Structure 1
C-alpha cells in the first residue's frame, strides 16, 4: 500500500481512464486499421477500380466493431456514422494511404518506429472499446453476464469478426480466414479482456475499473509492440492455452494428433498471417518486383 500511495498509481489510473481518445488515439487507430487493409491482397486494385468499395471496406475496418455491437444490441447499424468528425478523419486517412502521391503517407506510417507508436496507441483505443462495450451491455442487461462478455468481445475485435463480409466487398472469398476458427492474438485478448471487465462490472474482481483499464492497456500495448517489432505471429497465451486445451478438451500439447501423425515437411502459412503480417510481406515482395 505504501508503494501504491507513493507512486500515486490510483490517481494515474484515474487520469488515464478519463483521457480523451479523439483525435490523437482515434487517428492512430484509423491509420493502423487502414494500413492493414492496404496489406490485404487485392485492396490496392479495388481502390483503383472502385473507390466507393474501397472506402466502404476502410469504414468497416475502422467502425466494424461499433456496427456489429449496435446490431447485437438492437440499435441501428449506421448510428455511429452520425459522428461526422470521426468519419471525415477516417476518410482522410483512407485517402492519404491509398492515393497520396508517391505513396509518401503510406511510407511514413509504415516506417517501423512510427508504426510501433501507432500500434501502441491503437491498443489504448481497443481497451477503451472493450470496457465501454461491457458497460453498455451492463446497463441494458444488468445480470446478462454472457451478453456483457459478447458485446465487449465484439467491441474489441468486431472488424476481425466481420472480415469475411468485408472480403466480399473486395471481391475476395476466403472462408479459411474465419476469425472464429483461427483466432488471432487481438481477438483472443479482446475475449479475455471482456471477461475481466465483466467480472469487474459484476464486482467479482477486487480492482477498480480505471486500474483494470490501465493494466490491460499496458499488457496489450506491450504485447502488440513486441510482436510487431519482431514480426512474430505467436501469442503470449499459446503455452497456457495448450495446457488448458490438453487438460479440458484432450488436445495434445502443441497441436492435434493428426498433425503429429501427418506432419508436412514445411509447415503451411498460418491463417493468422493473412490478417496482417503475411499480407504485408506479400505486398512488399510485389513492390520490390515492380521496382
Structure 2
C-alpha cells in the first residue's frame, strides 16, 4: 500500500517575471482557489494563537460559503494555542498535512502525524501545540453546531491510515470514501471525509444536491465539471461548491486523486 500524500501551502511569492494568469475563479455556483495564490501576503494571524499563520479559504459571506469556514493553518515549532476556538457554539475538524501536532482534548493528549484527524464538538475544552522540530500544517473546518434533542457528539482523534476506505457501490474500489463518523449518526451535522479516486475513475453523473461543499485537494489532479464548466484542479487547490451546484469529475492520473471533503448533513431545513 502506498503511503498517502498530503499537500500543504508553501507561501512565498512568485518572481516579477511570472505571468499573472492563473486558475482562480469565483462564480455564484462555485469558487476555485488554486494553490498558486496561497502566498505570504494573504496570510492572517489568529487571535489566541502564537507562532501561527493561516490562509482563510472560506467564510460565510453573500454569494459564497453559508454553513462553514475553512482554513489552512501553519504552526511553527513551539507554536499553538491554549484557547483556539473563540465561539462556544462552534464545532471543528482538524486534519494534519505536515509535521506533528499535539491536540489536547479535555486533558487527554493526542499526537497527530500527517493524516491525523480530530473532531472537536462545540463547547469542548481543547488546545493545539507543535512540540516538534518542523512546521506543522493542518486544515481546520469550523461550523456552528445545530443541536438535536437526544444527541451529543463526542470528541475523538484518529489517523486516516487506520481507517479502511469504503468503496462506492459498483465501482470495484476505484472510487472510495474514508469516513470518520457513522453517516447514520444524527449527532453529527457535518461530515469531513476523504474521497479517493484511482487513475481514470469518475463521478459518472452530475451530482446536484442540497449539501454545500468545501473541497481541499490532498493529492493528484483531475478535471471537475462544475455547473457546466470543466475546471482543472490539482493538489493544494481549494474548491467551494454551493448547494445544488452540479458536480462530477474525471481523475487524471498518473496517481491517485484524493481530497478532504466537507458537507453539511442530517438536519431539517429551517423555514421560520
Q: Does TM-score exceed 0.5, indicating one fold?
A: no
Structure number with bigger Rg: 1
Query: Normalising to structure 1: TM-score of the pair?
Result: 0.25
Greater relative CO (CA pairs within 8 A, separation 6+): 1
Kindly indicate which of the two structures has a greater share of residues assigned to strand. 2
Kindly indicate which of the two structures has a greater share of residues assigned to helix. 1
